[in-house]
Amino acid sequence: WGATCYSLKDCVVHSLGGEHTKVLCYKVGLLKLPSSWPSWLPSMVISLDASQNQISILQQSDLQTLSQLRVLNVSQNEIHTIERHTFSSQGRLELLNLTANRLTVLSDSMFSGLVNLTTLLLSHNNITAIEKDAFAELQRLTVINLTSNKLQTLDSLHAAFELKTLVKMHIGDNGLHNFLTEDLRVTLMNLTELDFSKNPLSGINVTSNVLQNLQALDSSFIGKGHSVTWFLQDPCFLKGLKSLFLNRVCMKPPELSDLIQGLSCSSLENIQLANLNLTDSDNLVEKICSFQPNLRNLQLQGNNFTGLKKDVFENCTALRHLDLSMNHFKQVSKLTFRHLNMLQVLSLANNQLITVADDILHLPSLRRLDLSYNKIQDIFLNQSATSSSLTHLNLGSNKLIEIWSSSQFQALGNLLELQLGINQLLDIAAPFSPSLMKLIDLEISKNKLTSIRKHTFINLSA
């Protein structure tokens, strides 16, 4: 982008124009942060990337001259100690990335001086304790990531929950056994996103309104071999919730149904229920649509569905995104999706479909349809139907043998991308339809074509 480059030993210095400079020192074998700076440089550095090195200690002298720093990335090092007052000169720092180091305790005043820090990334360390005043000066912090540490109780996270400005908190994969709001020891929080996935939780109790501003909750992969019990004392304690992720959670269909029904004060728009061994007989989809009629995104991939009733989505008329990939569908009734007039994205990838009902391609709002990794052998589209709204159609990794007529894609006049790669195409017998005048991307690689006729692509002007 026209940035001026200088060399600083093994680092690269990029002038970003004006008085702003970025220094890249990643993966160069550093044992400590650079300290020999040209006299003109430190006051200009706003970003320093010293990731993927062997730095073990951060100390005040490392950063003392970099008073204009906004971004510091020291991830993937071996940092086990951050000395007191290390960040005393970093009053402008906004993002600090300490991911994948060897920190064990976050001590009082460790982050002293970071009065403008908004994002603190501490995942993949060995943190077992956070002292009471570790975050005391982080009065503008909005995002903290403590994923993949060893913080096994909510009490050990108290310093983080006390941050009144915090909006996003990630505490997944820590070894938490219970999540009880009564243990938070705080009043109403501003949190909008909370991720406590991949913890061996056995109980989730919400007995106060401390999380009523929460909009997204990720409780995927919790339980780890034993059932998870939810207790929501008042449905309105989570009244702001819009997104709920329950992928591979240790809960049975009736328990999932009770949970979603219990969130009657919430107007959920996004529910993820992947890899739960759900079956057609569970009738969970119908219940979810009944309980949460404003649902816009439903993820059901990786289950054991073989077929869906014709009116299963009757109460899900607001649905925009539906993922049914990695199930066991052999066929899908043309009536299954008839109520989904707002649906824009549909994935039926990785199933066992041999054919697809033509009506699916003509859902009025459908833009993207993924039918890849099935067993589809031929394409039969209703030539007399009104033009489809589809812009992206993926038929890759199927068993298509031939494009036998120009009319096969005639109704897809809005198509921008067509994926036909990794099939068994032996021949394209006729030119692609003139109606594909908007098509920009056509993928036909990894087939069995030995030749291509002269006028095969003549109509694909875009």
Q: Where are the domains of the chain?
A: 20-175, 184-268, 294-373, 376-461
pLDDT tens-digit series, residues 114-128: 999 999 999 999 999
CA distance 277 to 252: 9
CA distance 195 to 166: 13
Identify the pLDDT of residue 385.
Answer: 54
pLDDT tens-digit series, residues 161-172: 999 999 999 999
Identify the pLDDT of residue 186.
Answer: 85
pLDDT tens-digit series, residues 286-334: 999 999 999 999 999 999 999 888 889 999 999 999 999 999 999 888 7
Q: Is it the case that residue 155 has pLDDT exceeding 50? A: yes
Q: Is it the case that residue 64 has pLDDT exceeding 60? A: yes
**H helical segments located in 70-180:** 158-161
Q: Which residues contact 158 (CB under 8 A, 6 or more apart)?
A: 130, 132, 184, 185
The token pair that represents 331 in the structure block: 């066929």
Give the CATH number of domain 20-175; options: 3.80.10.10, 3.40.630.20, 3.90.950.10, 1.20.81.30.
Answer: 3.80.10.10
Buried b (16+ CB within 10 A) or exposed e, 24-53: bbbeeebeebbeebeeebbebbbbbbbbbb
Identify the pLDDT of residue 358.
Answer: 77
187, 213 in Cβ contact below 8 A? Answer: no
If you average pLDDT over residues 255-265, what whole number do you get?
Answer: 95
Average pLDDT taken over every residue of the chain = 92
The token pair that represents 135 in the structure block: 């975050």
If you average pLDDT over residues 449-456, what whole number do you get?
Answer: 91
If you average pLDDT over residues 9-15, what whole number do you get?
Answer: 84
For residue 7, name the pLDDT band (cuts at 50, 70, 90): very low
433, 456 in Cβ contact below 8 A? Answer: no
Buried b (16+ CB within 10 A) or exposed e, 424-450: ebebbebbbbebbeebeeeebeebeee
Identify the pLDDT of residue 162.
Answer: 93
Superfamily of domain 294-373: Ribonuclease Inhibitor (3.80.10.10)
pLDDT tens-digit series, residues 424-448: 999 998 899 899 999 999 999 999 9
Q: β-strand 143-145 against 178-180: which pairing, if any?
A: unpaired
- Number of Cα atoms under 13 Å in the Cβ half of residue 141: 27
Q: What is the CA radius of gyration of the chain?
A: 27
Identify the pLDDT of residue 357.
Answer: 77
If you average pLDDT over residues 176-198, what whole number do you get?
Answer: 92
Query: What pTM was estimated for this model as a whole?
Result: 0.91
If you average pLDDT over residues 62-86, what whole number do you get?
Answer: 95
